Structure 1
Amino acid sequence: MEAKKDYFLPYQVRWIQDQSRLKIYEKTRRGGMTYTQSYEDVKDAAKADDPMDVWFSSADMSAAREYIRYCEQWTRVFKVAAESLGEIVIDREDDIKAFVIEFASGKRIHALSSNPTGFRSKGGKVVLDEFAKHQQQDELWKAAQPSITWGFPMRVISTYNGKNNRYYRMVEDAKKGNKWSLHSTNIIQAVDQGLADKILKRKLTPEERQEWLDELREIAGDEETWQQEYMCNPVDEATAWLTWDLIEGCVDKSAGIPGNYQGGLCYVGMDIARRRNLTVIWVNEALGDVLWCREVISLKNATFKEQDAKLDEVMRRYKVAKLCIDQGGMGERSAEEYIDLYGRYRTEGIIFSAPIKQDLAVTGKQKFEDRLVRIPDDKAVKDAHHAVRKFTTVAGNARFDADDSAEVGHADEFWAHMLAIHGAIGNKNSMPAQASEEFDCW
């Protein structure tokens, strides 16, 4: 049984060809991973040399039925000797039922509901499908994990369901590097690899693929659904400082494009880093009461000389009324030099203490709630804004921070934006006389 291209897309082939004992997948909805997993499981149960029982569990019995239909399909496609036993009772005491296929090897594939009791005293390969959606996730894990003790493989496959669950923690641990082999495919990646073509049964142009994605996103209805179900981004709206609704309400496709600058006064925020995180320069133009993002410059591992050059380009390209800089840590040297270079009335160094970050975050949120900012329709920008959380310390103080993940780092775009907003407060549409005297470029 070979994983032929006629049956599988590249991301599905990679999953099948990965022979790791422990595999975990963060996936898009309807990307065909249950279909793919059923192939692997039929292959394992039908082995001539070392077959194994398979215990499959999904969030509900309808998903279990779909999985079994896929398994039955593979037995016919590859002419594997197997008999479908239908739904049988595997535990009379607890009334646990499963859809079962029995192979000539004597091994069986069992498709169970999400009842954790179904895994008790069982041994073999374990597949937990849509694990994040299980109602009793921790209990299911405690029951299922011992089933692989004698060296059997385990597969965990799911879309996200927020962050307060075992599946999210498992993926995060895998990203840090443990024994789990992590695979990830969002809907855009799946479409790039031919998913929409396969669904529509013809070769699509890039424009047609984008139209298909746009329609799917519109049908999703809201950003939370789109991010969790299709983009592999866990959403925890309960603790997000800026919800997706607030963020999306201020997105404009014309924002973030330098060519759209209309010659008004600008307010620049600069969050400074050197190695691990990003240096971000955020430019806002004030048009009436609204602060329009005109440019976001993100620099990774840039030398201070390169950062200086990028900022100097920004200061020359726009009529900058105020430049606000992260002066903490390695920003100390840069802030001092920029104050000397651009003038102390136009330049302000800000040290990110807890009270200052709270003030910046609260002020920024008010702008989003009043829809007085416009940001680009850019994934990195939106993710960084959504990543910031408000925590309460044991001393009862508010702390604003982001999950330090590979995707959003320390939410550098958010903090650069907040600095730019801070610069506009009290100065919008005007410039102090001293700053005007310092500025000689316009």
Structure 2
Amino acid sequence: MSTVPSDVVRLVDEAELPASARELKTSGDANSEGLLMPHQKQWVSQCLKYPLNIAEKCRRSGITLATAWNDTITAASKKSAGGDNIYYIGDTKEKGLEFIGYCAHFAKAMASAMAQNWNGIEVFLFEDQVVNERGKVIETRQISSYRIRFASGFQIVALSSNPSNIRGLQGIVNIDEAAFHADVQAVIDASLALIIWGGRIRIISTHNGADNPFNQLVKDSLKGLFDFKIFRITFDEVVKNGLYKKVCLVKGLTWSQEAEDKWYRQVRGAYGANKAA
């Protein structure tokens, strides 16, 4: 792992990471049972069981965080233990940096030798090839992206923008906040093409309108038109699972039921009748 590939531009400084990644705290090590809330464990379990999954989530549910935890273990594992490459495609560059920041945190916190000898977060140039309907390359461009390479030989890659050739990615692909991508339908269509090559796909998103292609994909999957397994979590369910206690852990606050009730009313007041928020 000491050899740095020629495509590496530089290493990411911790100060560049979003506050959500820098301030991430865990009770115990990264393998602790207390790290994930019940719904996060359920999502991870579903992803391990099925190759095609959709998370129909509320805001601040921790689904992306749980995905990063599971994916760090996967990328750090040998192929014989289920190791694989991980690709993350967010709707913004900041989301990609946040995800890779989560993964870096878990890699450092793992009480296992499998996460040793990694170089940190690399900024590298991902070569993206635009192909036409006949499969011919008509344009090649370089996307500034983030990467963590492990001694297992696998890597976690967070792309800072949508690659044209999603179909060419081999491994586990996470498409986060799919409903908010610039061209939602194109992203969904490209991800479905991965199925041909046996890809494992997680499409994660809050909703962005009834007419959004993400909402239609959820409906079609529930009807059995696609083999995606749907995982749905609401804000009220997340609260019952201990979200405010996680907030207290990160912010250094003392939990009390009175404080949680006040916090809940403030959050609910902000989102009004939107129970899926």
Q: TM-score range by the shorter chain?
A: 0.7 to 0.9
Query: Residues of 2 paired with 1:3 and 1:149: CA distance?
Result: 33
How far the C-alpha of 1:101 sits from its partner, in A, is 0.8
1:181 aligned to 221, 224, 229, which one?
229
Matched residue SS, 1:83: coil
1:16 aligned to 11, 31, 44, which one?
44
How far the C-alpha of 1:95 sits from its partner, in A, is 2.4
Relative distance call for 1:142 and 1:180 in structure 2 (3 A) is closer
Relative distance call for 1:70 and 1:148 in structure 2 (3 A) is farther
Relative distance call for 1:23 and 1:64 in structure 2 (3 A) is same
| Alignment pair present for 1:38 and 2:82 | no
How far the C-alpha of 1:203 sits from its partner, in A, is 4.1
Query: Residues of 2 paired with 1:136 and 1:3: CA distance?
Result: 37
| Alignment pair present for 1:168 and 2:215 | yes
The one-letter amino acid paired with 2:156 is I
Kept in 2, the 8 Å contact 1:58–1:130? The answer is yes
Kept in 2, the 8 Å contact 1:114–1:134? The answer is no
Q: Note the alpha carbon deviations across 1:22-79, whole angstroms, 9 max, x for none.
A: 1111111112111111011112212221421111111101010000010001111114
Matched residue SS, 2:141: coil
How far the C-alpha of 1:102 sits from its partner, in A, is 0.8
Specify which structure has the bigger relative contact order, considering alpha-carbon pairs within 8 angstroms and separated by 6 or more residues: 2
Q: How does 1:336-415 map to 2 (within 5 A)?
A: none
1:89 aligned to 112, 125, 133, which one?
125
- Structure 2 match to 1:101: 148
- Structure 2 match to 1:195: 243
Matched residue SS, 2:185: helix
Query: Residues of 2 paired with 1:144 and 1:170: CA distance?
Result: 12
Query: Residues of 1 paired with 2:75 and 2:199: CA distance?
Result: 12
* Amino-acid identity (%): 27
- Structure 1 match to 2:32: 4
Count how many residue pairs are aligned between Structure 1 and Structure 2. 225
Matched residue SS, 2:149: strand
- Structure 2 match to 1:69: 101
How far the C-alpha of 1:120 sits from its partner, in A, is 4.7
Q: How does 1:260-339 map to 2 (within 5 A)?
A: none
C-alpha RMSD of the superposition: 2.3
Q: Note the alpha carbon deviations across 1:323-361, whole angstroms, 9 max, x for none.
A: xxxxxxxxxxxxxxxxxxxxxxxxxxxxxxxxxxxxxxx
Structure 2 residue runs without a partner (length 5+) = 1-28, 129-139
Kept in 2, the 8 Å contact 1:116–1:140? The answer is no
Structure 1 residue runs without a partner (length 5+) = 234-442
Return structure 1 stretches of 4+ with deviation > 6 angstroms: none
Q: How does 1:113-192 map to 2 (within 5 A)?
A: 113-117=160-164, 119-177=166-224, 179-192=227-240
- Structure 2 match to 1:372: none
How far the C-alpha of 1:148 sits from its partner, in A, is 4.4
Query: Residues of 2 paired with 1:217 and 1:57: CA distance?
Result: 30
How far the C-alpha of 1:110 sits from its partner, in A, is 0.9
Kept in 2, the 8 Å contact 1:116–1:139? The answer is no
2:276 aligned to 224, 229, 232, which one?
232
Give the number of the structure whose alpha-carbon radius of gyration is greater: 1
Q: Note the alpha carbon deviations across 1:161-191, whole angstroms, 9 max, x for none.
A: 0022221012112333452221111111100
Query: Residues of 1 paired with 2:235 and 2:157: CA distance?
Result: 29
